[in-house]
Structure 1
Amino acid sequence: MLHLVLILLSLSDVLTQDSNYRVKYADNQICAVRGFSVSIPCSYYYPTSKKVTQMLWCSMNSNKDWCQYPPYVYNSASNTKSDFEFTGDDKSNCTLLIHNVQFSYSGEYKFRFITNVDKWTGDPGVTLQVTDLKVSLIRLSGNGTLKPGDSLNLKCDVNCTQSSSQFVWSKNNELLPESGTVLHFPALTLRDSGNYTCTWKTSTASGSKTISLQVEGNNLEDPESPEDPELWLIWIIVYVIAGVIVIVTVISGAVIYKRRRVHAEDDSNLYTNVKQKKSESDHHGNIRQKKSESDYHGNIRQKQDVSDVYANVKMEEDNFNLYANVS
């Protein structure tokens, strides 16, 4: 009895197909990188007189029939949230977006929709292949730690059969002009150190992987300047500050020297004036002293003259007395 029901349901889908019901997938093979997101583009068609009442996505890993019964990875009649997000609508878009893709998500997926009259499942579905993105370092010369002059390749690889893949490289989040699966370093320099990211892109999926390169060696071995713009800016600021300090120091020294010289000249002139005044004072003092000595000698002379006069008078008086007595 169950088999009869399934046959009738299949016939119903076949009859519906003859009535312009259709599901179209953009690609029947899609690749995805584990841990990233992938989109499964999808469109569906039905007579405009019908109205869509339910939309479903199923994984054939758990649903072995025509998606007629649960489980479903997406059911518009359920509000359950998961990694499977329906980004389409109830008109014509049936695109499914899968987040945080895991290896267990690999397999075939089909879209089914139900109208107020009929139902339809898009068959065959879309096969999803989940893989890891790998970035490998391949030494071409040198051994041990990476040193200036060593040669190597960085290879980006994704084990997927999807066509139209694109590989983009970046260093420290800055996009590089190189593209393709291999990034070649013919002769390493210190400025090649950094974090290199390979980003794999398709029309429906993307993924990236980062590898770090650390080139060791004396800075003198690599005269080239770092290419990191932020490091350039830091060095420019350091040089500007150092230059300003030197200029301010020189100007300050010159000003201080000039002030000290002017002050010294003022002190010298003051000392000269004081010395000059002192010399003039000494000169006047000497003159005064000489004048005083002259007065002194004059007084002595005057006293001597008076004494002489007195002596003469006394002598004359004595002679007179002597003469009178004789008479």
Structure 2
Amino acid sequence: MKMNPWTLSVLLLLAGPLGADPDWHVEYPDSFCVVEGSTATIPCSFTHPAGLRVKRVVWCHNHEFCQRHVYFGYDSSNVRTDRRFQYLGDHVRNCTLKIIKTEKREAATYRFRFETNGDKYTGPRGVNVRVTDGEVVKVRSSVTDHVVKEGGQVTLTCTSACSFHQLDVHWYRNGHALSDTGPALHLSNLTNDDAGDYTCSLDSSGKKTSAPWSLVVVVDEEKSDWLLPVPVVLVLLAVFLLLLAGLVFAKRSAPGPEHEIVYSEVVG
């Protein structure tokens, strides 16, 4: 297919600077997986020749040059941008984008574009964002057995068909939300209070959680062999106190040497 020079010139103008100029560059992952309903952050950075000032930054999808009449995930010049798309970057080097409560329809190829007072540039490669069902989330453990000794430790990891890129992970024990966040949950110095069913979710509502992973905490027999049961300790303590009280009473009841001397003198 032949392209006339005028059309080619327009396309090159829309794309930005010619050639693979290292001074003009956008860096982001080739693909990105998001679980439906979750919040995820797409890392991104950009560079441009020194001396230029960035006036506008744009995230769009399914368009090569992020021009008009396309869907904008974020546009710094448009106050009506969807609030679920939050720009965490700046106008200097960082172009990170945060997507809140991702929907299935938002699976697409996203590109970042920035416009300066001298030229404009769109990252040509783009990020292929894939949205999957939250049911694929699973809990994996650092131990093979669900039974862990008291005082021990275990690390639980929330895994998914997605490769996690700063995803917000929510953890639950017996259905109650924990304060810990992140793909890994570290539990150390375990007690019986830590026992229960652990689940994770990428949905803050907690409706789409993983299958439960049950943790059982048992007493370490090696450490407890020398320990006596509490009832036995109480009985021994009571016996000791009774013996001590008996000795004190007997000592106070016995006549002392001074009494014996006085008695002998009176009789004599």
TM-score, normalised relative to structure 2: 0.53
Q: Confirm whether residue 84 of structure 1 aligns to residue 85 of structure 2.
A: yes
CA distance 1:4–1:79, shift in 2 (3 Å)? farther
Q: Could you say which residue in structure 2 is the equivalent of 1:184?
A: none
What amino acid does structure 2 have at the position aligned with 1:33? V
Deviation at 1:50, TM superposition (A): 0.9
Q: Could you say which residue in structure 2 is the equivalent of 1:20?
A: 23
Question: 4+ residue stretches of structure 1 with deviation over 4 A?
Answer: 2-6, 163-170, 191-195, 210-213
| Cα deviation code 1:70-114 (max 9, x no counterpart) | 322211110014121111111111111111101111121000111
1:104-119 paired onto structure 2 within 5 Å? 104-119=105-120
1:12-91 paired onto structure 2 within 5 Å? 12=13, 13-15=16-18, 17-18=20-21, 20-25=23-28, 27-60=29-62, 63=63, 65-71=64-70, 72-82=72-82, 83-91=84-92
Deviation at 1:171, TM superposition (A): 1.6
Higher helix share: 1
Deviation at 1:66, TM superposition (A): 2.3
Q: What CA distance in whole angstroms lies between the structure 1 residues aligned with 2:10 and 2:78?
A: 23
Q: What CA distance in whole angstroms lies between the structure 1 residues aligned with 2:116 and 2:42?
A: 22
What amino acid does structure 2 have at the position aligned with 1:158? S
1:1-327 paired onto structure 2 within 5 Å? 6-12=7-13, 13-15=16-18, 17-18=20-21, 20-25=23-28, 27-60=29-62, 63=63, 65-71=64-70, 72-82=72-82, 83-134=84-135, 158-160=160-162, 162=163, 170-172=172-174, 173=177, 196-199=198-201, 209=209
CA distance 1:163–1:192, shift in 2 (3 Å)? closer
Residue 48 of structure 1 aligns to a residue whose secondary structure is coil
CA distance 1:114–1:175, shift in 2 (3 Å)? closer
Deviation at 1:169, TM superposition (A): 6.3
Deviation at 1:133, TM superposition (A): 2.4
Count of residues in correspondence between the two structures: 177
- Whether the 8 Å CA contact 2:17–2:120 is kept in 1: the answer is no
CA distance 1:44–1:79, shift in 2 (3 Å)? same
CA distance 1:113–1:169, shift in 2 (3 Å)? closer
What amino acid does structure 1 have at the position aligned with 2:59? W
Bigger RCO of structures 1 and 2 (CA < 8 A, at least 6 apart): 2
Q: What CA distance in whole angstroms lies between the structure 2 residues aligned with 1:209 and 1:31?
A: 18
Residue 111 of structure 1 aligns to a residue whose secondary structure is strand
| Cα deviation code 1:226-251 (max 9, x no counterpart) | xxxxxxxxxxxxxxxxxxxxxxxxxx
| Cα deviation code 1:157-211 (max 9, x no counterpart) | 6333x379999964234599xx99xxxxxxxxxx9996531246xxxxxx97155
CA distance 1:212–1:49, shift in 2 (3 Å)? closer
Q: What CA distance in whole angstroms lies between the structure 2 residues aligned with 1:24 and 1:86?
A: 16
What amino acid does structure 1 have at the position aligned with 2:200? C
TM-score, normalised relative to structure 1: 0.44
CA distance 1:193–1:46, shift in 2 (3 Å)? closer
Structure 1: segments with no counterpart, 5+ residues: 137-154, 181-190, 201-206, 214-223, 225-327
RMSD between aligned residues: 4.2
Q: Could you say which residue in structure 1 is the equivalent of 2:244?
A: none
- Whether the 8 Å CA contact 2:107–2:129 is kept in 1: the answer is yes
CA distance 1:164–1:79, shift in 2 (3 Å)? closer
- Whether the 8 Å CA contact 2:42–2:96 is kept in 1: the answer is yes
